[in-house]
Amino acid sequence: MNKFYRYGLGLLLLVSVKVQAQNQQVIDAIIKEANENSQLETLAHELLDGIGPRLVGTPQMQQAHDWTVKQYQNWGIEAKNEKWGEWRGWDRGTTHIDMIEPWVRTLAGTQLSWSPSSPEGGLTAEVIVLPDLADSVAFQKWLPSVKGKYVMISAPQLTGRPDDNWEKWGTEESFEAIKEKRAALERAWLDRTQKTGKNRTSLPIALENAGAVGVVTSYWSRALGANKIFSASTRQVPTIDLSIEDYGMLFRLVESGKKPKIHVNAQSKETGLQPTYNSIAQIKGTEKPEEYVMLSAHLDSWQGGTGATDNGSGTILMMEVMRILKKVYPNPKRTILVGHWGSEEQGLNGSRAFVEDHPEMLEKIQVLFNQDNGTGRIANISGQGFVDSYEYLGRWLNKVPREITKDIETTFPGNPGSGGTDHVSFVAAGVPAFNLSSLAWDYGTITWHTNLDTYDKLVFDDIKNNAILTAIMVYMACEEENMVSKKMRIPVDFRTGEPTEWPSKRSPTRQGGILFQRIAR
């Protein structure tokens, strides 16, 4: 063997060993910082308890953006709020609901997002139920009878016990019977509402236009104590959501002829169009500052709870990753950029705006890691249709401690995401963007968009593991010698087996909520 060849080979091996040692040193420092100096609980407390729910257009959303930027700046990380549009402004006040007749009881419920306000001090009125009418003509004849009343428009539930409770304690016969009765009731209620000639949006508007003083709903999430809390369609009178049993009690009282009355004091105010933002922070790269490794999580939430798992957990995860990397890897090879998006819940608007507003950056994004589906350990990663993603993601995951990665399932190359969370805004633009999908912890029923999405549902050990995994992946992506492959595989429709098309980029809604603006009384 030529002595110069042997010398060159030895030098390469020496450099490789040195690089591996440097990598391991940084990885060890990431793990140590995450385990010994975690800021996750403090961040969660300040965001969830101190600011609360973050509905786009509310003062709390603006507070969250300002808090995020200030927190990054306190860590020595460059950060800013970047305006991308405007949204209907709304400021939620107190909600207090009492049954006054046939006896007195305080009811569990809240006003829906963007609900109009009650009169000052609230209003007492009889409660009635949407009847089972013959058709839309009969509905129009019935409408005048709603004047001065609260109208219940949701189906009652036969049981407040979730299915797993029935499976554990009930007989097989009783469980099957309750499922059949529930399905029949749901079909009958759907038929009842369809015969009005109205849909979920137009029915409440028709009721308020006919003089109803409020609309009463109940959207049970099929978990104990959990209701989905979305937005009101009414423009002049409040829409409230009641717990499954309080709604059921009122429904039964109406049906038995008891004529219950409730007092609703749901205060809120319209604040006009408000500016909407993304909060952007970065640790500037040293060798390739115009190339980026991105982190992604939406900052907004619905307002039934405090948005703990959707997406407070993703928000504090990405903030903790940035904090850790700033401390142990302050001079990254590539720029580390994080986006805390606004208005994800109304259609991925913040991330879509960023993609649309920064076309010059898209080719320079090495990879993006997004987290948005709850507090659990990362359990699934899809290659999102990027053909070579298995090669680099596999290498980077191999650097993460085995106790963190041992249960992660990967799908390569996978299919591109087409909706649901912010990484798809980037996938549609050809950016290798990956969702770090977590264990459910009954996310879909207990916390997703419910009144129970609160601080106590966070699992900090799992989020800490996720911070270690994500920080190591970001570090490895920054240190990668070249840009990774962006070769894409045309997705296949799993139902037909036929090739489809890569998802197309979509523009954000830059001025939102105005179609549902309350009409002044």
Q: What is the pLDDT of residue 377?
A: 98
- Residues near 307 by Cβ (< 8 Å), separated by ≥ 6? 48, 53, 54, 300, 301, 453
pLDDT at 20: 86
What single DSSP character describes residue 489? P
Q: How far apart are CA 422 and CA 345, in angstroms?
A: 10
What's the pLDDT score for residue 519?
35
The secondary structure element, H or E, covering residue 378 is strand 378-382
Q: What is the pLDDT of residues 148-194, one digit of tens each?
A: 999 999 999 999 999 999 999 999 999 999 999 999 999 999 999 99
CA 442 to chain centre: 14
Nearest-angstrom CA–CA distance, 306 and 48:
6
Q: How confident is the model at residue 517 (pLDDT cuts 50, 70, 90)?
A: very low
Helix orientation angle between 460-479 and 3-36, rounded to the nearest 10 degrees: 150
Residue 133 has pLDDT above 50, yes or no: yes
pLDDT in tens, 221-249: 999 999 999 999 999 999 999 999 999 99
Angle 447-122-109 from CA coordinates, rounded to 5°: 15
What phi and psi, each to the nearest 5 degrees, are found at residue 462?
-70, -45
User: CB–CB of 449/306 below 8 Å?
Assistant: no
Specify the residue for token string 């429709």. Answer: 493
The string of pLDDT tens digits covering residues 369-390 is: 999 999 999 999 999 999 999 9
- Residue 276 parent element (H or E): strand 261-283
pLDDT for the residue 520: 32
The pLDDT of 329-357, averaged and rounded, is 98
Section 36-46 average pLDDT: 98
Which residue carries 């140590």 as its tokens?
A: 32
* C-alpha dihedral (329, 335, 336, 338), degrees to nearest 10: 150
Residue in the block written with tokens 């996978």: 414
Closest CA to 463 of 317, 294, 259: 317
State the pLDDT confidence band at 518, using cuts at 50, 70 and 90: very low
Which residues fall within 8 angstroms of residue 77, CB to CB, at 6 or more apart? 281, 282, 283, 322, 323, 326
Distance CA 288, CA 175 (A): 61
Average pLDDT over residues 273-299: 98
- 409 pLDDT band, cuts 50/70/90, is very high
Q: What is the DSSP code (8-state) at residue 166?
A: H
Tell me which residue of 412, 464, 469 sits closest to 436, measured CA to CA: 469
Average of per-residue pLDDT values in the chain: 95
The band of 10, judged by pLDDT with boundaries at 50, 70 and 90, is low
Peptide bond preceding 491 in cis form (omega within 30 of 0): no
Spatial contact of 299 and 116, defined as CB atoms under 8 Å apart: no
Using CA atoms, how far residue 374 sits from 288, 289, 311, 418, 511, in Å, is: 33, 32, 7, 19, 28
**The predicted structure's pLDDT at residue 3:** 64
**Whole-angstrom distance, CA of residue 178 vs CA of residue 517:** 41
Alpha-carbon Rg for the chain, nearest whole angstrom, is 26
For position 387, what pLDDT does the model report?
Answer: 97
Mean pLDDT across the stretch 317-332?
Answer: 98
Q: 9 pLDDT exceeds 90? A: no
- Work out the end-to-end distance of the chain between its first and last CA atoms, rounded to an integer number of angstroms: 92
Percent over 90 (pLDDT), the chain = 92
Q: Between vectors from CA 273 to CA 72 and to CA 93, what angle results, nearest 5°?
A: 80
Q: Does 12 have pLDDT greater than 60? A: no
Q: What pLDDT does 5 receive?
A: 57
Helices (H), 384-457: 389-397, 402-405, 423-427
Question: pLDDT exceeding 70 applies to what percent of the chain?
Answer: 95
Degrees, nearest 5: CA angle 124-157-116: 35
Predicted confidence (pLDDT) at residue 135 exceeds the cutoff of 50: yes
Provide the pLDDT for residue 521: 29
What's the pTM value of the predicted model, to 2 decimals? 0.94
In total, the chain counts a number of residues equal to 521
Question: Whose CA is closest to 56, among 48, 64, 46?
Answer: 64
Distance CA 153, CA 234 (A): 13
* CA pair distance 430, 270, nearest whole angstrom: 39
Cβ-contact 93, 338 below 8 angstroms: no
State residue 129's pLDDT score. Answer: 98
Measured CA to CA, the distance from residue 91 to residue 44 in angstroms comes to 22
